[in-house]
Structure 1
Amino acid sequence: MAQDSHSAVNAHGWRALVKRLRRANRERLNRWLTRFMGTARPVRAPLAADTRRVLVVRLNKRLGNILFLTPMLRTLAASLPTASIDVLIRDPRQKPLLESLPGIGRVWVQPRGLGALIGLIRRLRRERYDLAIDPTGNSSSNRTAVALSGARQRMGFASNSQWLRLTHAAGRANSRHQAEQAVALLTDSVDELDFKTFDTLAVFPDNRAQTAARAHWVEALGPGPTRGPVIGFFTRATGRKALPAAWWRDWCEQMHHLAPAATLLEIRPPGAEPTADTASVAVAELDVLAALLSRLSVFTAADSGPMHLAAAAGVPVVGLFRATRPEAYAPLGQGCTSVAGETFTGAEAARAAARVLAAEQASGVA
């Protein structure tokens, strides 16, 4: 058994080493290409007067990263009201979240298989996009898709590894929130356009999603109006961001003490067992989950997709940060706050949720 464990550790170490070597080699290649044909410095210029078709590329499956697009997409829609804005993403489950945003035309999903991928590239080129945007500074997939789109204007972040030739480029400020960086890309690279900017995440579930969410709500909490506020929580997160089950049980105990009139509702992934002895619900469809989250008074979660989805749905969120920086990944929404550090307790997080709940009740929102 000890030998097997040792072998597993060695295998993990080799995989990590290979991954680092690949990343280093790719970075060296990017830097070399940038010297000859890329965009190492910012380029600020007006958009072409006839910019009517825009493609935003974000080929990443993480829910939070897709939601970080929403302030930028809303800024584009409000500032270019005659333009049609399409988006290219990787996960079809996220498609309804973007389709309901104002000004969004078509949400393309990257298919599997070489033949289907070639077909998508051909369809994108037939759209004759006036502008293609890579809203990140570190995705080779995004850059490749922007290049293959055939758009006559290209926007992205300048760097010494930006091998794509850009017509509009901004310097990347890593100190900013990830969502704010995407908005800053627009304002810092485009001249002669007064952008109407947005600084919070947003989703707008349709009537179908609202109806489905209502059914889940009744299943979890029973028919009729709930007595007192409903405080939601999500106990899962990836890697070092996750908090142990015992921590969450302590948090629940503290919440019952601080907000005795409130009902606790655990949001759990489909197929996962509840963490605590409270009401719970599992929802697979992301737009339905957004609609259900919008019914909560407060939501508490570690840095995760559901944390950002709740903020986008308009819920005051208490984000818990042990392994990531709230400066870059905090929940962006009205009434949202963060608890950060390596050793904060369930009681501290519960007090933060109680303060947010009290503020909401005092404002008459809850």
Structure 2
Amino acid sequence: MKHPLPAHPAHLCVLRLSALGDVCNLVPAVRALQRQWPQVRITWIIGRGEYSLLTGLSGVEFVVYDKSSGLAGMRRIWRELGDVHFDALLHMQQSIRASMLSLGLNAGVRLGFDRARAKDWQTLFTQRQLEPHPHAHVLESFMDFARMMGVGDTRLAWDIPLPPEAVTEAGQWDAGRRTLVISPCANPRLRNFRNWSAAGYAAVIEHARTQHGLTTILTGGGSPQEREMGAEIRRHCSSAEPVDAIGATSLKGLLALIDRAAAVIAPDSGPVHMANAMGTPVVGLFATTNPERAAPYCWRRHVVNRYPDAVRTYMHKSPEAIVWGSRVRHADAMSLITFEDVIGALDRLLAAPRPLDDPRQESAS
């Protein structure tokens, strides 16, 4: 017997800890739930960095889980929420850590991904699963939770707030200039080859300056890899010196900087989805991950897509023959992206900086 889903929920729990891009892609599902039930309470259990990006999101109560705190952090959340009953737990994180955390939460029904999309045995921790949705974009996978709950209006909305101090912070970097934001590095993970070349970025910076009058601001975290990438990009630049803000902005400040930019260029990483959420034109660089699954959702027609070439070259298969969402684990895959690919996409984007009017209709056509 299937566990029933609540027809008129009073209190919902969203469980999604990470990552920055994923939580940006999840916000439209939260907004859809809020439109369906304006009085519903939504408690979102979220990671610490992700909270700093979304803090202030209207109508959402955040409970922050520090992933480094392990079991002690889970017990703290269980104590904090011990007297709370949720009508439904929307288990949107496919990880064993999140599933363990879910065990201490009191919910009438636990809704998770279908078997094709679930990972780390998530289906063992849920009572209801989504309907199958082959080849779904990440944003659509999250929206499927709202659909399963009975939501019909799935219009896209974000409305992520920018506090005045974040706007001031951004203004200190762009100084009112028309800017291109480049976030050159994805989050470093084992065999996660998403970064393009410093020389390529430098050439794009020169082109953006001479052809479009854009000042480039380099952004990113403060890791040694990111700082070295920034330094190498600057070494390759001749006449168009970028502003180096790598490791120097808060997440809200970066969001404000992206909001004010003429365009953003980045690999598959948080900033492309932050740009998408703010309505900023964005060129995503994709070779090792499938943009049909993970591109900035409203700007997919502007991505540089060398993923099919990388699959054929380094996996020796056709894109149709591999599992949906497979990554190309080869250090040279991003080298398939050329300077001409990127400036061509940037030129087209700046000539007609409009997102897709209805990206879901286009993807289905």
TM-score, normalised to structure 1, is 0.74
- Which residue is 1:269 aligned to? 221
What's the offset of the Cα at 1:172? 4.0
Deviations 1:139-196 (A, max 9, x none): 2233333332011122112328511241x42134341111110101221x23xx4432
**Cα distance 1:195–1:105, how it changes in 2: closer, same or farther (>3 A)?**
farther
- Which residue is 1:248 aligned to? 201
| Equivalent of residue 164 in structure 1, options 120, 125, 128 | 125
- Which residue is 1:179 aligned to? 139
Do the aligned residues in 2 keep the contact of 1:88 with 1:110 (CA within 8 Å)?
no
- Once residues 328 and 44 of structure 1 are traced to their aligned partners in structure 2, the CA distance between those partners, rounded to angstroms, is 30
Secondary structure of the 1:68 match is helix
- Once residues 329 and 116 of structure 1 are traced to their aligned partners in structure 2, the CA distance between those partners, rounded to angstroms, is 30
Secondary structure of the 1:360 match is coil
| Equivalent of residue 273 in structure 2, options 303, 308, 317 | 308
- Which residue is 1:58 aligned to? 16
- Once residues 247 and 156 of structure 1 are traced to their aligned partners in structure 2, the CA distance between those partners, rounded to angstroms, is 41
- Which residue is 2:238 aligned to? none
- Which residue is 2:50 aligned to? 94
- Once residues 276 and 353 of structure 2 are traced to their aligned partners in structure 1, the CA distance between those partners, rounded to angstroms, is 14
What's the offset of the Cα at 1:359? 1.3
Do the aligned residues in 2 keep the contact of 1:254 with 1:347 (CA within 8 Å)?
no
| Equivalent of residue 298 in structure 1, options 263, 267, 275 | 263
Extract unaligned runs of 5+ from structure 2. Answer: 235-240, 311-335, 355-365
For structure 1, which segment, 169-178 or 332-341, has the greater mean C-alpha deviation from structure 2 after superposition?
332-341
- Once residues 108 and 82 of structure 2 are traced to their aligned partners in structure 1, the CA distance between those partners, rounded to angstroms, is 11
- Once residues 74 and 156 of structure 1 are traced to their aligned partners in structure 2, the CA distance between those partners, rounded to angstroms, is 19
What's the offset of the Cα at 1:113? 5.2
What's the offset of the Cα at 1:267? 2.1
Do the aligned residues in 2 keep the contact of 1:57 with 1:132 (CA within 8 Å)?
yes
- Once residues 97 and 134 of structure 2 are traced to their aligned partners in structure 1, the CA distance between those partners, rounded to angstroms, is 20
- Which residue is 2:162 aligned to? 205
Extract unaligned runs of 5+ from structure 1. Answer: 1-38, 219-224, 362-366
**Cα distance 1:201–1:336, how it changes in 2: closer, same or farther (>3 A)?**
farther
- Once residues 344 and 208 of structure 2 are traced to their aligned partners in structure 1, the CA distance between those partners, rounded to angstroms, is 8
- Once residues 46 and 151 of structure 1 are traced to their aligned partners in structure 2, the CA distance between those partners, rounded to angstroms, is 11
Do the aligned residues in 1 keep the contact of 2:31 with 2:157 (CA within 8 Å)?
no
Q: Which amino acid aligns with 2:304?
A: V
- Once residues 181 and 207 of structure 1 are traced to their aligned partners in structure 2, the CA distance between those partners, rounded to angstroms, is 33
- Which residue is 1:140 aligned to? 96
- Once residues 96 and 202 of structure 1 are traced to their aligned partners in structure 2, the CA distance between those partners, rounded to angstroms, is 15
1:47 aligned to 2:11? no
For structure 1, which segment, 245-254 or 201-210, has the greater mean C-alpha deviation from structure 2 after superposition?
201-210
Q: Which amino acid aligns with 2:35?
A: A
Deviations 1:107-140 (A, max 9, x none): 332461544431321222212222211124x322
- Which residue is 1:155 aligned to? 111
What's the offset of the Cα at 1:44? 8.7
1:288 aligned to 2:253? yes
1:77 aligned to 2:34? yes
Do the aligned residues in 2 keep the contact of 1:57 with 1:88 (CA within 8 Å)?
yes
What's the offset of the Cα at 1:199? 3.7
- Once residues 217 and 257 of structure 1 are traced to their aligned partners in structure 2, the CA distance between those partners, rounded to angstroms, is 18
RMSD: 2.6
For structure 1, which segment, 349-358 or 65-74, has the greater mean C-alpha deviation from structure 2 after superposition?
65-74
1:231 aligned to 2:184? no
**Cα distance 1:87–1:336, how it changes in 2: closer, same or farther (>3 A)?**
farther
- Once residues 155 and 287 of structure 1 are traced to their aligned partners in structure 2, the CA distance between those partners, rounded to angstroms, is 31
Q: Which amino acid aligns with 2:6?
A: L
- Once residues 289 and 124 of structure 1 are traced to their aligned partners in structure 2, the CA distance between those partners, rounded to angstroms, is 32
Deviations 1:8-40 (A, max 9, x none): xxxxxxxxxxxxxxxxxxxxxxxxxxxxxxx9x
Do the aligned residues in 1 keep the contact of 2:193 with 2:288 (CA within 8 Å)?
yes
**Cα distance 1:178–1:299, how it changes in 2: closer, same or farther (>3 A)?**
same
- Once residues 194 and 117 of structure 1 are traced to their aligned partners in structure 2, the CA distance between those partners, rounded to angstroms, is 31
**Cα distance 1:158–1:352, how it changes in 2: closer, same or farther (>3 A)?**
closer
Which protein shows a greater Rg? 1
TM-score, normalised to structure 2, is 0.75
- Which residue is 2:331 aligned to? none
**Cα distance 1:195–1:89, how it changes in 2: closer, same or farther (>3 A)?**
same
Secondary structure of the 1:294 match is helix
What's the offset of the Cα at 1:315? 0.8
**Cα distance 1:347–1:255, how it changes in 2: closer, same or farther (>3 A)?**
farther
For structure 1, which segment, 96-105 or 267-276, has the greater mean C-alpha deviation from structure 2 after superposition?
267-276
Residue identity over aligned pairs, in percent, reads: 23
- Once residues 284 and 157 of structure 2 are traced to their aligned partners in structure 1, the CA distance between those partners, rounded to angstroms, is 15
What's the offset of the Cα at 1:206? 1.9
For structure 1, which segment, 284-293 or 114-123, has the greater mean C-alpha deviation from structure 2 after superposition?
114-123
Do the aligned residues in 2 keep the contact of 1:72 with 1:198 (CA within 8 Å)?
no
